[in-house]
Amino acid sequence: MRVDVKNYHSLVFDCDGVVLDSNRIKTQAFYDAALIYGQDAAQTLKDYHVKNGGISRYKKFEYFLSEILGGQVNPDDLNQLLQRFASEVKKGLLGSKVASRLDELRDYTQHANWLIVSGGDQTELREAFVQKGLDSFFDGGIFGSPDTKELILERELGQSNIEKPALFLGDSKYDYEAARQAGLDFVFISGWTEVVDWEAWCQSNQIPHYSSLQTLIS
């Protein structure tokens, strides 16, 4: 199923696993942050994260404290986890690989505005994109948690910052659900995804998929 990105007024990109090869970095960071609670608990959180790609760290660590550990969500414990996680991720993002030929895709779709809508921390993302020299590509803005993807998409659509027809490029099932709820078309980017059954899932839902962003350039 071929998708022509030139048909869209807005292109919305997830960050991890789409623009940056950073999925494995964040997966390991969840494990490392939770390791103070033991290896079993840390591994359970890591597995939960992989199964729920695209959801913000805030919700995942709240789930860890309340459901995996079975306790109350103590603000101090939550902040400690978030700080440990952020420290690992910051180092990883700066060293992560950028999708090939991103500049060519930007030229190919120069009529459209580009946005990042990510589950990653918004401040962290903006700093990393500036340091990697990528921020100028995303003229529509770089957005992330603590706001959810659903909230960001609804808000930016309401402000006409996302103009339909619009396309969401993601690598998780959550990305697809958020795009569908907002009325955006969706393309699955498979090269760096951590979704194990992505091929069967894409086929059953008739979702077009590409191995990387560069393969969208005809």
Give the span between the Cα atoms of 31 and 57, in whole angstroms: 12
**CATH code matching the domain that covers 5-21+98-216, chosen among 3.30.830.10, 3.40.50.1000, 3.40.50.300, 3.40.50.2000:** 3.40.50.1000
Extents of the domains making up the chain: 5-21+98-216, 24-95
For residue 159 the two structure tokens come to 């402000």
On the question of pLDDT at 94 being above 90, the answer is no
The number of beta carbons lying within 10 Å of the beta carbon of residue 44 is 18
What contacts 87, CB < 8 A, 6 or more positions away? none
12-34 burial code (b ≥16 CB/10 A, e <16): bbbbbbbbbebbebbbebbbebb
Half-sphere exposure of 145 (CA within 13 A, CB side): 14
pLDDT in tens, 158-215: 999 999 999 999 999 999 999 999 999 999 999 999 999 999 999 999 999 999 999 9
> Which pLDDT value is given to residue 2?
87
Give the span between the Cα atoms of 123 and 145, in whole angstroms: 9
Sheet with 113-121: strands ordered across:
141-145, 113-121, 10-13, 166-170, 185-189, 209-210
pLDDT in tens, 16-69: 999 999 999 999 999 999 999 999 999 999 999 998 887 888 999 999 999 999
CA dihedral 54, 58, 59, 63 (to 10 degrees): 120
**Helix residue ranges per DSSP H, 14-134:** 23-34, 39-51, 57-63, 75-95, 102-108, 122-131
How buried is residue 80: exposed, middle or buried, by Cβ count under 10 Å (0-12/13-18/19+)? middle
pLDDT in tens, 126-170: 999 999 999 999 999 999 999 999 999 999 999 999 999 999 999
Query: What crossing angle do the helices spanning 23-34 and 75-95 adopt, rounded to 10°?
Result: 150
Residue matched to tokens 């700093």 = 127
Give the span between the Cα atoms of 93 and 212, in whole angstroms: 19
The number of beta carbons lying within 10 Å of the beta carbon of residue 203 is 11
On the question of pLDDT at 92 being above 90, the answer is no
